[in-house]
Amino acid sequence: MPVASACLWPLKRSVPGGSTMSAFRRSAVALVGACAFLQLYTPQALLPLFAAEFGASPAAVSLTVSATTLAVALTAPFAGALADVFGRRRIIVGAVFVLALPTLLIATASSLEELVLWRFAQGLLLPPIFAVAVAYIGEEWPPGEVASMIGIYTAGSAFGGFLGRFLTGLAADHLGWQTAFIVLAAIDLAGAAIIARYLPSERRFVAAAGMAPSLHAMIRHLRNPRLLATFAAGFAILFAFVAIFTYVSFHLAAAPYALSPAALGSLFVVYLFGVVVTPLSGRAVTRFGRAKVAACAIALWCAALALTLIASLPAIVAGLAIAAACGFVCQALANGFLAASAGGGRSSAVGLYVTSYYTGGTIGGLLPALAFTAFGWPGVVALVIAVLVLMGTAVVPAWRARKTGRI
């Protein structure tokens, strides 16, 4: 993964073990995010193709995305609680290995129902990877370095999200969409082997005494207004991402653009802007504070979406690129806040966040279908901007620095 590795090299000193830590270990953190997000949104480049192949509506084929996000939302809190008991590294590595199985089974699907079923199975295995990874980083790195490492992890996630969509779109045009999922399963297995070998061992983890402490921690988190606002931000972030990148595929597959699956898959190169920009978010937080960075990112995100309303493919691509970068910055800000401020039961806090996040993604795959059917792409843009504005009003006050210091 040369792109992710290139983003990692400046943070050599941030990794446990000091400046002697190998490049492979530094890259392992990003690779964790890449392996999870490699699978999460792969159907988005194929939705128009699925609609034609299975004779289904946009709302029906969008279930290939929403089924996965729903499974993630249902299992995320339990993944965090299990990790608090059994250890985060062990859970992460095991889940990446097992994820290859439902990915292979997707290639055998002969109906939309089977495809949705195996996509749901994939979603059950994703929280043990990314819901736990944020807590792992928050515990294993010094507090002053958490924001930077979260940025690197999120950059790897952005690269994985791009690669999954790009490969499926390319394969669909030349080899068939089934072959794409076989390739993705092979990548997962290779990534799991590298992660198992190079992800640093836990040094600060203290196992919880059973599940009860984690469940009590969840209740405590739900009484924290700042964490509740952060959970709401997660809902809005993925709602926006899924709505934008699901329905823009239908928008651009239709006239006058008429993009092929390969072209739609290539469109997700805009995710690489997130790879480049997100690692810088940690520095921006240190200098300006999390609330100011969030306010700027949300405002720019809304402006970028407005840019996609111009009837020009270059303008749409530019708007999507800026929107993707802003979305990944907001995600890094939220993850960094959780890792730095959740206190005890970090995995539980991240599990709750992931549940809210993927509940937003599930609704973001379904609700915009009504706006798209009634008003087309402008209706989706208007809906997403409204959600982002509400997100800003909730999260910016919650993330303001306290007098004791910046978070």
pTM: 0.73
169-182 as b/e: b if 16+ CB within 10 A = bbbbeeeebeebbb
Q: Give the per-residue pLDDT at 381.
A: 97
Does 358 have pLDDT greater than 90? no
- The mean pLDDT value of the chain amounts to 82
Q: Give the per-residue pLDDT at 298.
A: 96
Residue 40's contacts (CB-CB under 8 Å, 6 or more residues apart) are 68, 69, 122, 126, 161, 164
Q: Give the per-residue pLDDT at 302.
A: 97
- Provide mean pLDDT across the span 196-217: 69
Does 374 have pLDDT greater than 90? yes
Q: Give the per-residue pLDDT at 206.
A: 58
60-64, 86-90, 141-145, 258-262, range with the lowest pLDDT: 141-145
The HSE-up count of residue 385 (CA atoms within 13 Å, CB side) is 16
Does 16 have pLDDT greater than 70? no
Pick from 257, 261, 197, 256: which is nearest to 50 by CA?
261
- Provide mean pLDDT across the span 18-22: 48
State the Cα–Cα distance between residues 119 and 60, nearest whole angstrom: 14
Q: Give the per-residue pLDDT at 12.
A: 40
- Provide mean pLDDT across the span 308-335: 92
Q: Give the per-residue pLDDT at 115.
A: 94
- Provide mean pLDDT across the span 78-93: 77
110-119: per-residue pLDDT in tens? 999 999 999 9
Q: Contact, 150 vs 29, CB < 8 A?
A: no
Highest mean pLDDT among 82-96, 145-159, 357-371: 357-371
State the Cα–Cα distance between residues 300 and 405, nearest whole angstrom: 26
Q: Give the per-residue pLDDT at 4.
A: 40
Q: Which CATH number fits domain 2-13+20-398: 1.10.3720.10, 3.30.2420.10, 1.20.1250.20, 1.10.1050.10?
A: 1.20.1250.20
Q: Give the per-residue pLDDT at 266.
A: 82
Spans of all domains in the chain: 2-13+20-398
CA distances from 241 to 204, 372, 385 (A): 34, 15, 11
State the Cα–Cα distance between residues 339 and 168, nearest whole angstrom: 33
Does 97 have pLDDT greater than 90? yes
State the Cα–Cα distance between residues 92 and 95, nearest whole angstrom: 5
Q: Give the per-residue pLDDT at 29.
A: 84
22-32: per-residue pLDDT in tens? 567 667 888 99
Q: Give the per-residue pLDDT at 124.
A: 92
Terminal CA-to-CA distance of the chain, rounded, Å?
A: 31
225-248: per-residue pLDDT in tens? 888 999 999 999 999 999 999 899
Q: Quote the tokens at residue 62.
A: 């969008």
